[in-house]
Structure 1
């Protein structure tokens, strides 16, 4: 196993894409693309003593979409995944531990593609929602931020799921999903090979069984801010009651990051437009600093 654990070589890279989200209301643009700025304004890069890798600028967001159009902004997402993958590959080649600041959940395709190009990697997926919508369980696909786990595991259009002939970027048996709390979402996993632990259960030993195996070269950690309870952090597009508190998320991340093979982390979905005083960005920054330091 190629072991890389977070230390002085933390490298922060902005991935300010909102391409995978629907507008919250007509005529608006999802504000999560501003999240990297909000987290930086909370001092995240300096507090982590991290190297600054700048940003990967996404293509223009197009709001118009109707059922039957396929994945919203799909070709742009595929192009962005390639660019992001290249930057993640360079960070890792230089010995860095990438910390990606999104943006929406579709940015996961970038690091998933990068890691797949160098071996077989697992995925710890922390989210309030399954993000597992595909034509096998839904009448149509739409916003990739609700489909990114399906796309990463090879379910969807070839141009998104088979970039460079590498489908699937992550095998079902190499994924553990933590934090999903909607029963309908959980049903999406019933016929898959994905391991999932619902709600606020924290079981790093179970995660270790999935993520630390001889056949894996390591694993990536995806953190959707909505894994936190809305009473703790509500500045997300789809807040769902019953989530983790700040201490629980910090504990979970510390446990995952302590496992051999942790290869990088992304954090997504914080919407600064819904966080007028910046307090929720500051809280999320505190959690990341506590977990990564």
Structure 2
């Protein structure tokens, strides 16, 4: 199966942070060479950094509009390129609010240094990148949880969360982990680091059904490997360990597509980190195209 690239220059902070520049930076680092077609960027630019008084969500109307725009672009791409897999490059994790309604996966492999399970009341910032997994599994502002029509967009039992930190947390972060539904599968960072390849195989085997989406928030990496993210946390994998986790997922015939988030191009003036991201993604895309 071939791949196509779709950019989602989405910055849920509406502050002009560097996530929105990531698609361009990764293209400059060679990302387009990994795919059969580059379909440009969806209209996911978020402005209006004001918190909604009812839900506490930052830039709520613009976020809903961005989600609809990405869903429309991705739906059209899937229609026009049957049999191809999408590589959707953000932007931040909020892009999943536009991806999931388009692809309607049977399940989600979700690699992230954070659980992303806050809401407008518990998030210090109101950024939807704090709450995307909660929204997808039915917890959040009504206008967001309903983006896919049926609520929830994904049952918690259809999600595997990998790489989130569970040690050395401040009280608020620990409370976020405690909010996770019992049915949601978890492979926390300490278990992932103990045997990365086994963690990947376990994640692969935990979900049933065809059509599993793979989401990679690059802040799952240890900051010593990639400091160019918005919210770095110690205790994550190296590039090599992350590649070992991803290998069984990338090779699965059930892989529907991949999204990548939270690369801060503004924190990578030399482009070295962008090239390392592209190198990692080449290892993800190649097994599926052999």
> What is the TM-score of this pair, normalised by structure 1?
0.86
Distance of aligned partners of 1:164 and 1:130 in 2 relative to their CA distance in 1, 3 Å threshold: closer
2:53, 2:230 → 1: CA distance? 20
Among 13, 23, 35, the alignment partner of 1:21 is: 13
- Whether the 8 Å contact between 1:75 and 1:159 is mirrored in structure 2 is no
Q: Which runs of 5+ in 2 are unaligned?
A: 168-173
Correspondences of 1:25-40 after superposition (within 5 Å): 29-40=16-27
- Please give the per-residue CA displacement for 1:9-35, whole angstroms capped at 9, x wherever unaligned: 1100000010x2375xxxxx2111000
Distance of aligned partners of 1:141 and 1:174 in 2 relative to their CA distance in 1, 3 Å threshold: farther
Q: Which residue of 1 aligns with 2:218?
A: 225
Among 203, 207, 221, the alignment partner of 1:207 is: 203
Correspondences of 1:17-166 after superposition (within 5 Å): 17-18=10-11, 20-21=12-13, 23=15, 29-46=16-33, 48-65=34-51, 70-93=56-79, 94-116=82-104, 121-134=106-119, 138=122, 142-163=126-147, 165-166=149-150
- Please give the per-residue CA displacement for 1:204-254, whole angstroms capped at 9, x wherever unaligned: 23212322x2xx331111100101110010001111011111111122222
How many correspondences in the alignment?
271
Distance of aligned partners of 1:204 and 1:67 in 2 relative to their CA distance in 1, 3 Å threshold: same
- Whether the 8 Å contact between 2:117 and 2:130 is mirrored in structure 1 is yes
Which structure is higher in RCO with an 8 Å CA cutoff and minimum separation 6?
1
1:164, 1:147 → 2: CA distance? 16
1:71, 1:227 → 2: CA distance? 24
- Whether the 8 Å contact between 1:21 and 1:104 is mirrored in structure 2 is no
User: Aligned with 1:165: secondary structure?
Assistant: coil
Among 256, 266, 274, the alignment partner of 1:281 is: 274
More helix by share: 2
- Whether the 8 Å contact between 2:13 and 2:49 is mirrored in structure 1 is no
Identify the range of structure 1 (250-259 vs 54-63) with the bigger mean alpha-carbon deviation: 54-63
2:73, 2:186 → 1: CA distance? 30
> What is the TM-score of this pair, normalised by structure 2?
0.86
Distance of aligned partners of 1:209 and 1:275 in 2 relative to their CA distance in 1, 3 Å threshold: same
RMSD value over aligned CA atoms?
Answer: 2.1
Deviation at 1:96, TM superposition (A): 1.5
Q: Which runs of 5+ in 1 are unaligned?
A: 1-6, 24-28
1:164, 1:231 → 2: CA distance? 37
